[in-house]
Amino acid sequence: MNLLNKIKDFFRIGGAKLGMVQELAQITDDPRISIPSSEYERIKVAKEYYANDLKKETFRNAKGRAYQRQLNSLNVTKMAARRLASIIFNEGCEVTVDDDNANKVIQHVFKTENFNENYELALEKWIALGSGCIRPTISNGKIVLSWANAGQVYPLNVNTSEVNEVALAFKSQQTENKQTVYYTLLEFHQWDQNTGDYTITNELYRSTQEDSVGIKVSLNRLNEYATLQPVITFHDIKRPLFAFYRNPGANNINLDSPLGLGIVDNAKPTIDAINRTHDEYVEEVIKGRRKILAPEWMFFNGGSGNDELDQFSAKAHPPLLPEDETVFQMFYGSNNDDDKVVDLTVPIRADDYTKTMNFWLSEFERETGLSQGTFTTTPTGIQTATEVVSNNSMTYQTRSSYLTMVRKNIYALVYAVLELAQYHDLLDPEYQWTGDIDQVNPNFKPNDGVFIDQDKQKQEDLQAVAGNALPKRIMWIRDYGIDDATADEWWKMLQEENGQPDPDGEIGLYASGGDDNDDEENDTESDAEGS
């Protein structure tokens, strides 16, 4: 930090105390944000569960003394979010646009930004925390995507099903004069109700405390934001330049909040019970390992230390137990207990803990909308593909609800990208597009293969093809996962095989269903005609 910045900070601190310079303790203190801080306290708790960053629990030892330690927890929040994200959006999903030129731009942006992989990763966080956002921006002639989770998204309006105005928070930190300094960039997206213009306002805040937003400073304070304009106004924008996402279902904790609920919010008691059960079982395995008490003389040499005398002593013997022994433990008793060995091993209650854990996991499956057997042992053991599809019905219904919100989010992103693509003077040619955005229709095709019995579908398709009820091309594309070009190649190859001449006449013979009797009959008919 140079001398000029030190002087500026001195006056900003003084100005903040006098109310002349804007200072925020929390982002929700900004009057433009209508969401209460309690919503972000809730998201903070959900984030701790998702990161498995739980507080230490207090226990008491055998002497009644209190001590603290981390639970041996089972991160079911991560497991459920990962499971849902993978079946909702994966590499098999496709996003297209009916306008060819617009589709080229979208495909180029998605390819360069590794969209499918990054979206699945972001969706996992959004499902765990409840909400998220994607923000396309222009950087060095390219359209790039910025991703934000629930803790970074601050809607500016409430009591509405649509989020058209938002503040996005991007935090960073660096060391200045051997002190850690925290910076927060607030990016406000707002509509001017009078002119219809779309405005993006950038504000940078600096703080020496991690839990405080701090004092507003100039954008050029950080090199990465030096080129940002404090206010950017778009005159011809029809759609927001961000794509907001929220989990399906009502927010029953704050009825007026447009933010969605995460996995933890309505399942916290069950998750806590799962963690306690898992912790107790792990501790029982650790502390319940085999333990045998043995007398002191088994651990030491029985001699007196005088080699000449020991060789004649009846009690002289080498140690009976190795130095790294963990099963046998020494005890001190009376002379009557010198030869006594006591097994203190207690059987581990594996079955009891398994039943208890399955009970809580079943509760968690119901609360998160997952089918029975997602995390628990299936009641019928090994299942056929048809049974798996049937048992996944609850997960399929839950997935359908999430897909509705994912489709809405992706469509909003497509429109936001195409809005930016019309600023040709800022973009490379491959990112440019011109057209009426209201006439563009995006399409999202999810991958439903995980819920389909592939073997049964192939059998049904083969029967349909044999009965001329289904074209072969459709069967190839659906059952073998090939594209149209490969299907054309297969069709040509099949035609060539069917039309290939048979030099020995064997293929034609068997294809026509002929046999030796048919040949004799043909020969007889030929002889009759000749006579």
SS3 assignment for 371-383: CCCCCCCCCCCCC
Instruction: Tell me, yes or no, whether 496 lies in a domain.
Output: yes
> Cβ distance 262 to 43 under 8 Å?
yes
Are both 52 and 86 inside the same structural domain?
yes
Of 325, 345, 365, the last residue of a domain is: 345
Residue 7: pLDDT band with limits 50, 70, 90 = very low
Instruction: Tell me, yes or no, whether 247 lies in a domain.
Output: yes
Count of alpha carbons within 13 angstroms of residue 240, beta-carbon side:
22
Instruction: Express each pLDDT in 206-249 by its tens digit.
Output: 999 988 999 999 999 999 999 899 999 999 899 999 999 999 99
Instruction: Tell me, yes or no, whether 11 lies in a domain.
Output: no
**Can you tell me the mean pLDDT for 450-465?**
71
Are both 441 and 462 inside the same structural domain?
no
Query: When comparing pLDDT for 95 and 382, which is higher?
Result: 95
Per-residue model confidence (pLDDT) at position 185: 95
Number of domains in the chain: 3
Residue 23: pLDDT band with limits 50, 70, 90 = confident
Residue 507: pLDDT band with limits 50, 70, 90 = very low
> Cβ distance 52 to 75 under 8 Å?
yes
Query: Quick check: 5 pLDDT over 80?
Result: no
Per-residue model confidence (pLDDT) at position 449: 60
Are both 465 and 524 inside the same structural domain?
yes
> Cβ distance 189 to 244 under 8 Å?
no
Are both 520 and 416 inside the same structural domain?
no
**Can you tell me the mean pLDDT for 71-100?**
92
Q: Which residues pair with 200 in a beta bridge?
A: 189, 232
Are both 47 and 151 inside the same structural domain?
yes
**Which range scores top for mean pLDDT: 129-138, 293-302, 352-361, 514-523?**
129-138
pTM (2 d.p.): 0.76
Are both 62 and 153 inside the same structural domain?
yes
Query: Quick check: 375 pLDDT over 90?
Result: no
Does residue 389 sit in helix, strand or coil? helix
Q: Report the distance separating Cα 102 and Cα 437, nearest Å.
A: 9
387: its two tokens: 């049974």
Of 425, 445, 465, the last residue of a domain is: 445
Instruction: Tell me, yes or no, whether 386 lies in a domain.
Output: no
Q: Which of these ranges, 136-145, 150-159, 394-403, 457-466, has the smallest mean pLDDT?
A: 457-466
Instruction: Tell me, yes or no, whether 273 lies in a domain.
Output: no
Per-residue model confidence (pLDDT) at position 526: 46
Per-residue model confidence (pLDDT) at position 137: 95
Instruction: Tell me, yes or no, whether 67 lies in a domain.
Output: yes
Q: Which of these ranges, 43-57, 245-259, 302-316, 425-439, has the smallest mean pLDDT?
A: 302-316
> Cβ distance 71 to 63 under 8 Å?
no
> Cβ distance 240 to 47 under 8 Å?
no
Per-residue model confidence (pLDDT) at position 155: 94
Instruction: Express each pLDDT in 148-196 by its tens digit.
Output: 999 999 999 876 668 999 999 999 999 888 899 999 999 999 999 889 9
Q: What proportions of the chain, in percent to the nearest 5, are helix, strand and coil?
A: 45, 20, 40
Does residue 199 sit in helix, strand or coil? strand
Query: When comparing pLDDT for 382 and 435, which is higher?
Result: 435
Q: What are phi and psi of 234, to 5 degrees?
A: -110, 130
Instruction: Express each pLDDT in 308-355 by its tens digit.
Output: 544 444 455 566 666 666 677 777 665 555 567 777 777 888 889 889
Query: Quick check: 255 pLDDT over 70?
Result: yes
Residue 367: pLDDT band with limits 50, 70, 90 = very high
Instruction: Tell me, yes or no, whether 205 lies in a domain.
Output: no
**Can you tell me the mean pLDDT for 201-208?**
95
Residue 393: pLDDT band with limits 50, 70, 90 = confident
84 burial level (CB within 10 Å; 0-12, 13-18, 19+)? buried
Are both 261 and 154 inside the same structural domain?
yes
Per-residue model confidence (pLDDT) at position 132: 97
Are both 110 and 259 inside the same structural domain?
yes
Query: Quick check: 307 pLDDT over 80?
Result: no
Taken as a whole, the chain contains a residue count of 531
Residue 457: pLDDT band with limits 50, 70, 90 = confident
Residue 382: pLDDT band with limits 50, 70, 90 = very low
Per-residue model confidence (pLDDT) at position 504: 47
Are both 259 and 330 inside the same structural domain?
no
Query: Quick check: 508 pLDDT over 60?
Result: no
Query: When comparing pLDDT for 319 and 429, which is higher?
Result: 429
CA distances from 271 to 26, 149, 344, 370 (A): 29, 22, 34, 15
Q: Which of these ranges, 22-36, 187-201, 445-459, has the smallest mean pLDDT?
A: 445-459
**What is the domain range of residue 407?**
32-165+240-266+398-445
Quote the mean pLDDT of the chain: 82
Instruction: Tell me, yes or no, whether 176 lies in a domain.
Output: no
Query: Quick check: 11 pLDDT over 70?
Result: no
Are both 492 and 410 inside the same structural domain?
no
- 486-511 burial, b for 16+ CB within 10 Å, e for fewer? ebeebeeeeeeeeeeeeeeeeeeeee
Phi/psi region, residue 504 (left: phi>0; alpha: psi -120 to 50; beta: rest), is: alpha
Strands of 25-150, DSSP E: 57-60, 66-69, 94-97, 131-139, 142-149
Are both 45 and 161 inside the same structural domain?
yes
Q: Which residues pair with 245 in a beta bridge?
A: 132
Residue with tokens 């002593």: 313
Instruction: Express each pLDDT in 126-153 by its tens digit.
Output: 999 999 999 999 999 999 999 999 999 9
Q: Which of these ranges, 260-269, 384-393, 484-493, has the smallest mean pLDDT?
A: 384-393
Of 329, 345, 361, the last residue of a domain is: 345
Residue with tokens 């600023």: 423
Are both 409 and 481 inside the same structural domain?
no
Residues near 458 by Cβ (< 8 Å), separated by ≥ 6?
Answer: 479
Q: Which residue type sits at 197?
A: D
